């Protein structure tokens, strides 16, 4: 017997058509390089996206051809998210924070045919142009300046194209729509290729109310770059639901974000923890009577902020909650689209104390539907879900990559039975809450016992004098490794190693788990996606 259901392929084009039909009056706001705001309606977005697709088809884009983007977060980048796949192409978001040589290598490895680039990023392009020749460089006049005639002008291409009679490139649901390279924090960058099907399933799952819980009445501010795992996939969901978007453009400093939040208050935003750490510090400093910014900003009370990409300290969750903002933690990777777990209040936690709610919110959370998750020990067996036994997380599911682009399936990344080895070490408790202790490469093994750098960092960051902290392993003759804490104090604050030791003991750490040394530094180095870059600290403090 066969089911009687239609075989309609899952498709991004459906989301675009739906947005054009149902939400044409809703707004998309982009902050331009001069900090002014540009407003677009969903109707304009729909028409411009179809024009982009028609223009790309007119330029000879063939099915499966890669079109790279080197852009900030704004409406034209969103047009690429849908316009490139509509023409049968694959959008390849390049990470503008990587070294130029790495960007050039990645574009070459992906065999990108065209490039869509913000005019303000052309100086960056010129630094890697010799490494990869794009057939066509299409410049988006983000700053409003005229486009040099040696490039194609994005706006002129759209104006000349016939979007109205454009016909979508035929496709199967497994055909590729986008690709993204891992940022290479722990190895050479590798390409992950998403399909219509994986993207639609990820969009549907993420949008459920226990997870992102997006609604048509929301106002979304994506601070996560659109090149970082497709801004975690949220732009797709916002288009599906007609959610108003406010894009910060190139202005990501805390003061700029606070300005934008005061003018266009979001109800949902997303970004890595370091963004929110500096934002809350800037906001709290502005409350002092003698601050030059006194009274300048209001935080959007009631906002939900999706935070992931690195562990979210409990102290940060508490700090935002004092201002009526809830941080919703998720865990995932470029390889996993990225959403795998979200920490949401399960029914069993109804009536739990505030402390317990915060403790859970500081965990990576519960696997979302369609993601299978297991934790494997050194000997390969499944670890019990007892909340304390740790092992490597492995995942499997329809929006998780099963290989890397142009790389033979690697035994160190995929198990023989087809699970992705994440390289993250975690425990799971009986309610299914995952708690990440470390990346395998960041683990500290002292005297045969593991010490979680994440736990130490979170506890140190709960000290009122601390702005940021990162803990790394240093070699030790007797214990093989010992923790070293790198601490950034808040401006004007004072605290000593002794204060921190007492603070950690009061937080339940045993003496042998305490950092061997505390180094006071000016700032924790950041990766290209804004996370703490421990590799750089290990280079700086080799012993
Ligand atoms: P990068 O290698 O630049 O960090 P990704 O953004 O793909 O690239 O990072 C995925 C990794 O980020 C995960 O494997 C994990 O180590 C870390 N990560 C993501 N979310 C969390 C989280 N909530 N808690 C702890 N670590 C996280």
pLDDT tens track for 248-276: 999 999 999 999 999 999 999 999 999 99
74 lines ligand 1 (CB under 6 A): no
Give residue 409's pLDDT.
77
Residue 105's pLDDT band, with cuts at 50, 70 and 90, is: very high
Give residue 186's pLDDT.
60
458 lines ligand 1 (CB under 6 A): no
* pLDDT digit string, tens, across residues 186-241: 667 999 999 999 999 999 999 999 999 999 999 999 999 999 999 999 999 999 99
Q: Is the pLDDT of residue 145 over 90?
A: yes
Q: Is the pLDDT of residue 410 over 90?
A: no
Per the DSSP assignment, residues forming a β-bridge with 299 are none
- Give the dihedral of Cα atoms 335, 231, 527, 362; nearest 10 deg: -80
Q: Which residues are catalytic?
A: 182, 335, 445, 450
Ligand 1 atom closest to the CA of 531, numbered from 1: 4
Ligand 1 atom closest to the CA of 185, numbered from 1: 2
Ligand 1 atom closest to the CA of 528, numbered from 1: 3
**Token digits for 399?**
């929006």
| DSSP reduced 3-state for 158 | helix
**425: CA distance to ligand 1 center in Å?**
11
436 lines ligand 1 (CB under 6 A): yes
* pLDDT digit string, tens, across residues 462-516: 999 999 999 999 988 888 899 999 999 998 899 999 999 999 999 989 888 999 8
Please tell me the distance from the alpha carbon of residue 421 to that of residue 374, in angstroms, as a whole number.
Answer: 10
**309: CA distance to ligand 1 center in Å?**
4
**Percentage above 70 pLDDT, the chain:** 99
Q: For ligand 1, pick from 331, 342, 458, 533 the residue to mutate: most ligand atoms within 8 Å of CB.
A: 331
424 lines ligand 1 (CB under 6 A): yes
Query: What's the rounded mean pLDDT across residues 69-73?
Result: 98
Ligand 1 atom closest to the CA of 334, numbered from 1: 7
533 φ, ψ to 5°?
-110, 90
Nearest-CA residue for ligand 1 atom 10 is 333
Per the DSSP assignment, residues forming a β-bridge with 473 are 483
Q: Is the dihedral of CA 340, 341, 342, 347 positive or negative?
A: positive
**18: CA distance to ligand 1 center in Å?**
33
527 lines ligand 1 (CB under 6 A): yes
**Token digits for 543?**
């012993």
**310: CA distance to ligand 1 center in Å?**
5
Quickly list H helices, 417-488: 453-461
Give residue 510's pLDDT.
87
Q: Which CATH number is 444-540's, of 3.90.1150.10, 3.40.800.10, 3.30.300.30, 1.10.3720.10?
A: 3.30.300.30
Domain 12-187+216-222 shares a fold with domain 253-439: yes
- Boundaries of every domain in the chain: 12-187+216-222, 253-439, 444-540
Please tell me the distance from the alpha carbon of residue 147 to that of residue 168, in angstroms, as a whole number.
Answer: 29
341 lines ligand 1 (CB under 6 A): no
Residue pair 286/296 in contact (Cβ under 8 Å)? The answer is: yes
Ligand 1 atom closest to the CA of 184, numbered from 1: 2
Ligand 1 atom closest to the CA of 365, numbered from 1: 23
Please tell me the distance from the alpha carbon of residue 293 to that of residue 289, in angstroms, as a whole number.
Answer: 9
Residue pair 283/505 in contact (Cβ under 8 Å)? The answer is: no
Buried b (16+ CB within 10 A) or exposed e, 139-171: bbbbeeeebeeebbbbeebbeebebeebebbeb
Angle at 110 between CA 105 and CA 111, to 5 degrees: 95
Nearest-CA residue for ligand 1 atom 26 is 310
Q: For 253-439, which CATH class?
A: alpha beta
**198: CA distance to ligand 1 center in Å?**
20
198 lines ligand 1 (CB under 6 A): no
**332: CA distance to ligand 1 center in Å?**
6
334 lines ligand 1 (CB under 6 A): yes
Mean pLDDT of the chain: 95
452 lines ligand 1 (CB under 6 A): no
* pLDDT digit string, tens, across residues 345-396: 899 999 999 999 999 999 999 999 999 999 999 888 899 999 999 999 999 9
Residue 447's pLDDT band, with cuts at 50, 70 and 90, is: confident
Give residue 296's pLDDT.
95
**331: CA distance to ligand 1 center in Å?**
7
CATH of domain 12-187+216-222: 3.40.50.12780
């Amino acid at each position: 017997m066969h089911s009687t259901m239609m075989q309609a392929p899952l498709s991004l084009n459906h989301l675009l058509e739906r947005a054009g039909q149902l939400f044409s009056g809703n707004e998309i706001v982009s902050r331009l390089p001069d900090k002014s705001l540009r407003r677009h309606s969903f109707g304009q977005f729909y028409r411009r996206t179809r024009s982009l697709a028609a223009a790309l088809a007119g330029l000879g884009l063939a099915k499966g051809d890669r079109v790279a983007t080197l852009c900030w977060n704004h409406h034209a980048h969103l047009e690429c998210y849908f316009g490139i796949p509509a023409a049968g192409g694959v959008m390849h978001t390049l990470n503008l924070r990587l070294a130029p040589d790495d960007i050039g290598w990645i574009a070459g490895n992906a065999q990108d045919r065209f490039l869509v680039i913000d005019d303000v990023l052309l100086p960056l392009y010129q630094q890697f142009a010799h490494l990869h020749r794009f057939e066509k460089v299409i410049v988006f006049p983000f700053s409003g300046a005229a486009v040099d005639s040696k490039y194609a002008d994005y706006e002129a291409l759209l104006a000349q194209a016939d979007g109205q009679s454009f016909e979508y490139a035929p496709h199967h649901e497994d055909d590729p729509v986008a690709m993204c390279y891992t940022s290479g924090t722990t190895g050479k960058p590798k390409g992950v290729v998403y399909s219509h099907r994986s993207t639609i399933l990820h969009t549907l799952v993420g949008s459920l109310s226990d997870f992102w819980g997006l609604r048509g009445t929301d106002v979304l501010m994506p601070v996560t770059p659109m090149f970082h795992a497709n801004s975690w996939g949220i732009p797709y969901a916002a288009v599906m639901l007609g959610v108003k978007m406010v894009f910060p453009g190139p202005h990501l400093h805390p003061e700029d974000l606070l300005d934008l939040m005061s003018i266009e208050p979001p109800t949902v935003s997303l970004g890595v923890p370091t963004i929110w750490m500096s934002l809350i510090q800037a906001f709290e400093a502005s409350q002092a009577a003698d601050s030059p910014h006194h009274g300048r900003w209001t935080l959007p009370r009631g906002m939900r902020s999706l935070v992931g990409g690195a562990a979210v300290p409990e102290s940060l969750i508490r700090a935002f909650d004092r201002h009526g903002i809830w941080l919703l933690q998720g865990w995932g990777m470029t390889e996993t689209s990225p959403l795998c777990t979200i920490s949401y209040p399960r029914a069993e936690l109804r009536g739990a104390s505030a402390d317990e709610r915060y403790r859970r919110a500081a965990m990576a959370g519960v696997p979302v539907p369609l993601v299978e998750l297991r934790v494997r020990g050194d000997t390969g067996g499944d670890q019990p879900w007892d909340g304390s036994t740790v092992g490597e997380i492995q995942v499997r599911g329809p929006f998780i990559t099963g290989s890397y682009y142009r790389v033979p399936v690697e035994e160190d990344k995929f198990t023989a039975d087809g699970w992705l080895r994440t390289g993250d070490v975690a425990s799971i408790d009986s309610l299914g809450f995952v708690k990440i202790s470390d990346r395998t490469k960041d683990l500290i093994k002292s005297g045969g016992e593991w010490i979680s750098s994440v736990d130490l960092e979170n506890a140190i960051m709960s000290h009122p004098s601390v702005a940021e902290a990162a803990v790394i392993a240093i070699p030790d003759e007797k214990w093989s490794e010992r923790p070293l804490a790198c601490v950034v104090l808040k401006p004007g604050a004072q605290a000593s190693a002794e204060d921190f030791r007492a603070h950690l003991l009061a937080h339940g750490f045993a003496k042998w788990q305490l950092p061997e040394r505390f180094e006071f530094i000016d700032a924790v180095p950041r990766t290209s996606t804004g996370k703490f870059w421990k590799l750089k600290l290990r280079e700086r403090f080799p012993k």
